[in-house]
Structure 1
Amino acid sequence: MDFTEKTIKSEKIFDGKIIKVKVDMVELPNGSTSTREIVEHPGAICVIPITETKEVIMVRQFRKPIEAVCLEVPAGKLDEGEDPYQCCIRELEEETGYKAKNVQSLGSIYTTPGFSNEILHIYLATELYEGKLQPDEDEFVETETIPLEKLVDMVMNGEIKDAKSIVAILKASQLLK
Structure 2
Amino acid sequence: MLIQNQDSLTETQLDTERVFDGILLKVERDHVRLPDGKTAVREYIRHPGAVVVIATLPDGRLILERQFRYPLRRSFIELPAGKIDPGEDIEACARRELREEVGYEAARWTHLGTLHPCIGYSDERIEVFLAEDLTHVGHQWDEGEFLEVLSLSPAELDAAVASGDVTDGKTLSALYIARARGI
| TM-score w.r.t. length of structure 2 | 0.91
Match of 2:11 among 5, 8, 12: 5
Match of 1:160 among 147, 166, 179: 166
Deviations 1:47-76 (A, max 9, x none): 011101110111011001111100000000
RMSD: 1.4
* Conserved? CA contact 1:51–1:128, under 8 Å: yes
Amino acid in the other structure paired with 1:60:
R
Amino acid in the other structure paired with 1:145:
S
Match of 2:55 among 32, 43, 49: 49
Deviations 1:106-130 (A, max 9, x none): 1001111111110000011111002
Gaps of 5+ in 2: 1-6
Give the corresponding residue for 1:115: 121
Give the corresponding residue for 1:20: 26
Amino acid in the other structure paired with 1:170:
Y
Distance 1:132 1:159 in 2: 26
| TM-score w.r.t. length of structure 1 | 0.94
Distance 1:125 1:160 in 2: 20
Distance 2:89 2:60 in 1: 27
Q: Does structure 1 residue 171 correspond to structure 2 residue 147? A: no
Q: Does structure 1 residue 73 correspond to structure 2 residue 79? A: yes
User: How many residues are treated as equivalent by the alignment?
Assistant: 177
Match of 1:145 among 121, 134, 151: 151
What displacement does 1:174 show? 4.8
Gaps of 5+ in 1: none
Give the corresponding residue for 1:85: 91
Identity %: 38
Distance 1:8 1:153 in 2: 48
Distance 1:61 1:52 in 2: 24
| Distance change >3 Å, CA 37–CA 131, structure 1 → 2 | same
* Conserved? CA contact 2:27–2:43, under 8 Å: yes
Give the corresponding residue for 1:132: 138
What displacement does 1:176 show? 5.0
Amino acid in the other structure paired with 1:165:
T
Deviations 1:119-155 (A, max 9, x none): 0000111110022310110211110111122212322
Amino acid in the other structure paired with 1:15:
D
Give the corresponding residue for 2:68: 62
